[in-house]
Amino acid sequence: MRFRITVLSSFVRHLRWRDFGEISPRGQWKPRWLIARGTSFFCVFLFYALFSFAIDWEHDLKAALDKAKSVKKPVMADFFATWCGPCKRLNDETFNDSKVESLTGEFICVKIDVDENPDLVRQYGVRGYPTVIFFDENGRVVGQSIGYRDAAFFTPVMRNALEKAGKLEKEEIKSQKPAAGTKTISSIAKPRIVEQKIKRGPFELSGIIFSSNNPKAVINDNVVGVGDSVDGAKVLNITETMVKLEYNGDEISLGLE
């Protein structure tokens, strides 16, 4: 939304009075194209700038699940608190990413204020904020993300939920022969996503997004890769089930079951 407001304000800022009209030699006001012919264009631009790709949030989980069953779409439910900093960051940054916004079109999206819905918090075992829970069209939980996650982490989580809900369409491979050395879509492995809290000393591993060329791990709510540092430790290696850290000269292994 911040980008759309910036684009709109930039457009308005560059308007000049002479774009609207001029005074004729007889002293009459003569409107120019912007008003006489361009009103519809401006309205379309205004609508696009403010509302294009915006996520259409609902606020009633039961109604969203009922709707999911009738339209055969999965549900993405964001459990948030108005006082929660990571919740605001997820909303302002991750949910405003173009790739995330595009994928939300595959879901019925609902925001749940945890302070107003304590029964739902207990029902779904929500213990940290924000928590995003994914449901299939029948109300079965097919995925979950806890805490702030950037778009690079959150997009594969959404795709994983769509796949578990049976809604991820297979990407079409172009019939043209690819150039030599080019990988086709079918040859690129999908990242494997594992979320499970494992704590050892001052470090908590809560997730791994494993791909052979760029594995990532979530340690102490930070998304890190091999060679990165987190809270004084250096990430040495990331596998599908384990992360190795170097901390104060010692090696620490954080493993997922």
| Alpha-carbon span 169 to 113, nearest angstrom | 32
CA–CA gap between residue 27 and residue 39 (Å, rounded)? 24
Q: What is the distance between the alpha carbons of residues 104 and 155, in angstroms, rounded to a whole number?
A: 10
Which of 15, 31, 51 is the C-terminal boundary of a domain? 51
Same domain, 64 and 154: yes
- Single pTM value for the model: 0.53
Q: Cα separation of 242 and 254, whole Å?
A: 6
Task: Find the radius of gyration of the CA atoms of the chain.
Answer: 24
What gap in Å lies between CA 238 and CA 255, rounded to an integer? 10
pLDDT at 48: 44
Residues 150 and 108 in one domain: yes
Q: By three-state DSSP, how is residue 7 classified?
A: helix
Catalytic: which of 64, 75, 84, 165?
A: 84
Query: What is the structure's pLDDT at 182?
Result: 39
Is 84 marked active-site?
yes
pLDDT at 31: 59
Is-contact 126 79, C-beta < 8 A? yes
224 within a domain of the structure (yes/no): yes
In whole angstroms, give the CA distance from residue 154 to residue 78: 13
Query: Are 100 and 151 in the same domain?
Result: yes
CATH of the domain at 93: 3.40.30.10
State yes or no: is 87 an active-site residue: yes
Assess whether the previous peptide bond of 74 is cis (omega < 30° from 0).
no
67 located within any domain: yes
Coil/strand/helix, residue 188: coil
Residue 173 located in a structural domain: no
CA distance 97 to 109: 15
Which range marks the domain in which residue 62 is found?
Answer: 57-164
Catalytic residue among 68, 75, 76, 87: 87
pLDDT at 50 (0 to 100): 46
Question: By the 8 A CB rule, do 129 and 86 touch?
Answer: yes
Q: How many domains does the chain have?
A: 3
**pLDDT tens by residue, the chain, 257 residues:** 444 544 445 444 555 545 455 666 666 666 554 454 455 445 544 444 444 457 889 999 999 999 999 999 999 999 999 999 999 999 999 999 999 998 999 999 999 999 999 999 999 988 889 999 999 999 999 888 989 999 998 998 999 889 888 887 544 333 334 444 433 333 334 455 555 566 677 888 877 777 767 788 888 777 788 888 888 889 999 888 888 999 888 888 887 65
